[in-house]
Amino acid sequence: MSTTGATADPLAALGSLPGVADSVESVRKAVDRVYGHRIMRRRSNAITSEAALRGARGSAALSGADWALEEVRRRTDFSTGGEAQVMGAALRLSAEAGQMLSIWRQSPLRVLARLHMVAAASDGDEVGRPRRAGEVADEPLIELPLPDAAEVSGRLDGLAELIIAGSSAPALVTAAVVHGELLALRPFGSHNGLVARAAERIVLIGSGLDPKSVCPAEVGHAELGRASYLAALDGYVSGTPGGMAAWIAHCGRAVELGARESTAVCEALQRGAA
């Protein structure tokens, strides 16, 4: 996303794209339905915990570890390599996201570095910093051209400036841009998809749209499917008004599906208490 232009608030300008206002309103209604459920008044912590688990499972699925929810509950060793490591990284990020809220608005790049460190769980030199010249990103499920280190640095700085400056844009728009920009840039040597989705979650929580983190967009992204996810990302990368609006709408639908998932959890808990 270009951060230059006539408008002082490019995120707010995206909010005026055709169809975006409808997406924002639809998301708000879906979120309100969850927060208005009677179970949320008594057992919101349980819903938050379940949403974190399901969100981690969804994010890992999009990064190649598509495990059944009960398998995620059952397993305790996530260090055996391959899909287990991806799932472990997703679970750690889900737990970490809520700890980063107070830092995000002041130092988003610091938060992104921390998220990558948590995901990588390594002390290698490449962990927690953007790619340097000549370094590549291990993100095999995203086949878009990889921006070079100079472009990554400039666009990350621009994104950070937007976050720090604040915007009148709806939370959905800001979250979608953060998510899309990190996927497009793949600024780290690994785990970029997981980090991008964790950053989206931080924006949704910190904005006040989903303060209890009970509407896991990662669930919705996984339910919509990888092909749909990548097609929408192509729209974001195109930079066209239609492409950007389609990506924002896709992210909005993902939040709605995450809200629907937690509503179903509320209903199940209510039936169990009856």
Q: Does pLDDT of 268 surpass 80?
A: yes
The predicted-structure confidence for 162-177, as pLDDT tens digits, reads as follows 999 999 999 999 999 9
- Could you write out the DSSP letters of every residue in 37-66? SHHHHHHHHHHHHHHHHHHHHHHHHHTT--
The answer to whether 46 touches 272, Cβ cutoff 8 Å, is no
| Cα separation, 265 vs 66, whole angstroms | 21
Confidence at residue 274, expressed as pLDDT on a 0 to 100 scale: 43
Q: Does pLDDT of 147 surpass 90?
A: yes
pTM over cut 0.85:
yes
Confidence at residue 6, expressed as pLDDT on a 0 to 100 scale: 46
Confidence at residue 108, expressed as pLDDT on a 0 to 100 scale: 98
Instruction: Spell out the residues 6+ positions from residue 57 whose beta carbon is closer than 8 angstroms to its own.
Output: 67, 69, 72, 87, 90, 218, 219, 222
The predicted-structure confidence for 204-256, as pLDDT tens digits, reads as follows 999 999 999 999 999 999 999 999 999 999 999 999 999 999 999 999 999 99
- Lowest pLDDT segment from 120-124, 196-200, 204-208: 120-124
